Structure 1
Amino acid sequence: MLRLEGLSKRYANGDRALDHIDLHVPAGQVVGLIGPSGAGKSTLIRCVNRLVEPSEGKIFLGDVELTALGRAGLRQARRRMGMIFQEYALVERLSVMENVLSGRLGYVGFWRAWFRRFPQADIDRAFAVLDRVSLMDHVDKRADELSGGQRQRVGIARALVQEPDILLVDEPTASLDPKTSRQIMRLIVEICAERNLAAIVNIHDVALAQMFVQRIVGLRAGRVVFDGPPESLDPAALTAIYGEEDWSKTMTREEEAEDRAHEAASEQLRGVRAPLIAEAL
């Protein structure tokens, strides 16, 4: 689906944000992109849709070389790439429906877009994705009336209404509380499975990435230093990505927290079952 060959980005001051990245993401796979600040995670995502122009290398989406496209070809190719932003990138004064329909701007003419006269098929498509992300009760609300989690769902719906082949997701949970973060990550992963979508998710929360994605790619100083399943992300791998730290203690605390959560859930379940059993007897 997506293939990067020798992708590099060097800025005018000589700083190298990406250093010969080779990466293949097949259809249906969700990749978590992790690494310290400045590792090149956001730059990589923005190079894929050429919001940032690569300095070297090639990018393929399917059989189309994105790095060889002119303006018209790139505009068409961007229809196939749904972008989900950390800060939502919504038009605050517009309704939820209008923000979602903006995902169809690449398919309609200028004047239809200007007057917001979208084909009925696009409106039906927007209703369908709004239902999928549980926003049908908020269709006519302005974007600035929504919570952070609801805004991110609008951003997901806007990306889906494009009918893309890949989702490029930049820090989708950075502004959200832990519970909402899990809900948003779960939604992204479920949608990718349903639609056989590839996805690259730039995420700073390692534990959250391990919980939901199928594959983790770790960047450091613009280079891939880890590429594997979440269960292989051991202290040695974390040190390679982030540098020296006592990761074993961190991982132990995470495991203990999970154990406590399981125990609490079991206790709650036993508390529910006990009266039912007594009543049955």
Structure 2
Amino acid sequence: MLKLKKLVKTYRTGDQALKAIDLEMPEGQVLALIGPSGAGKSTLIRCINRLVEPTSGEVWLDDLELTHLKASGLRRARREMGMIFQEYALVERLTVMENVLSGRLGYVGFWRSLTRRYPQSDVDEAFRLLDRVGLLAMADKRADELSGGQRQRVGICRALIQNPKLLLVDEPTASLDPKTSRQIMRLICELCAERGLAAIINIHDVALAQMFVQRVVGLRFGAIEFDGPPEALTPDVLTTIYGEEDWEATIKKVDDDGNEIEAAE
């Protein structure tokens, strides 16, 4: 479904953020990107939808190669890649409903988008999504009246209303408390399962990634150091990705419902 071939990003300074990344993921898979700051996680996500231009390599979404698309083709391709941002990227003065509907801007014409006259089917879908994430009663509230967790839920709805094939999620829990972080990760994974939707989640919290995702990719200095299931994140693996540390307390064993369980003595 998504395939990266020898993806490279080198900045003008000569710093190489990504080093020949090869990665494939199927439909419906939720993948976490982990690694230290500066490892290339955000750059990788942004190279996929070309918010950052790759230096070389290829990005394939199904049978479409994205890295050589011109402006109009890229706009169409971005409809199929929903983006959820760390800092929410909401328009503060607009309502929750207006922010969600902005996810349809790639589908409606210029004048409709300018006057915010969306088809009724889009409005109905926005209401359904807000109901699903527990924000239906807040549809008419301004975005600047919401908590961090509520803002992130609006961002999730805005991405999903695009009806994408792939979600690109950049640090969705970075500004949230532990309980809200779990709720947001659980919600993203549940929605992906309901829609058969693939997702790449850039996340710093290793235990949170282990608790919810199906696959983990660890980056270090722009290269893949680990690619496997969450249960394979041993202390040795984490040392390879992050460096020396006592990792035993970081690795949490969880049951089928995502609850932590006591390690055997």
The bucket for the TM-score relative to the shorter chain is: over 0.9
Aligned to 2:165: 165
Alignment of 1:1-281 (within 5 A): 1-251=1-251, 254=252, 258-259=260-261
The answer to whether the 8 A contact 2:45-2:168 is kept is yes
The superposition leaves residues 32-56 of structure 1 with CA deviations (integer Å, 9 ceiling, x where unpaired) of 0000000000000000000000001
Aligned to 1:276: none
TM-score (norm 1): 0.90
Q: Which has the higher helix share?
A: 1
1:248 shift after superposition: 2.9
Tell me, what secondary structure is at the counterpart of 1:68?
Answer: coil
Tell me, what secondary structure is at the counterpart of 2:184?
Answer: helix
Matched residues in 2 for 1:122 and 1:241: separation? 43
The superposition leaves residues 8-52 of structure 1 with CA deviations (integer Å, 9 ceiling, x where unpaired) of 100011000000000011110000000000000000000000000
Residues 119 and 240 (structure 1 numbering): CA distance in 2 closer, same or farther, change over 3 Å?
same
Matched residues in 2 for 1:3 and 1:193: separation? 20
Aligned to 1:267: none
The answer to whether the 8 A contact 2:29-2:214 is kept is yes
Matched residues in 2 for 1:255 and 1:88: separation? 30
Identity %: 72
The answer to whether the 8 A contact 2:206-2:250 is kept is no
**Bigger Cα displacement from structure 2, 121-130 vs 142-151:** 121-130
Matched residues in 2 for 1:234 and 1:161: separation? 38
RMSD of aligned alpha carbons: 1.5
Residue identity opposite 2:76 in structure 1: Q
Matched residues in 1 for 2:21 and 2:250: separation? 29
Matched residues in 2 for 1:258 and 1:6: separation? 38
1:186 shift after superposition: 0.3
1:259 shift after superposition: 4.1
Residue identity opposite 2:154 in structure 1: V
Matched residues in 1 for 2:84 and 2:253: separation? 30
Matched residues in 2 for 1:177 and 1:154: separation? 17
Paired residues, what number? 259
Matched residues in 2 for 1:7 and 1:17: separation? 10
Residue identity opposite 1:258 in structure 2: E
The superposition leaves residues 147-182 of structure 1 with CA deviations (integer Å, 9 ceiling, x where unpaired) of 110000000000000000000000000000000000
Residue identity opposite 2:89 in structure 1: A
Tell me, what secondary structure is at the counterpart of 2:12?
Answer: coil
Tell me, what secondary structure is at the counterpart of 1:46?
Answer: helix
1:250 shift after superposition: 4.2
Residue identity opposite 2:121 in structure 1: A
Residues 69 and 35 (structure 1 numbering): CA distance in 2 closer, same or farther, change over 3 Å?
same
Tell me, what secondary structure is at the counterpart of 1:247?
Answer: coil
Matched residues in 2 for 1:131 and 1:248: separation? 40
Matched residues in 1 for 2:214 and 2:253: separation? 19
Tell me, what secondary structure is at the counterpart of 1:12?
Answer: coil
Residue identity opposite 1:202 in structure 2: N
Point out where structure 2 has 5 or more consecutive residues left out of the alignment.
none
Tell me, what secondary structure is at the counterpart of 2:248?
Answer: helix
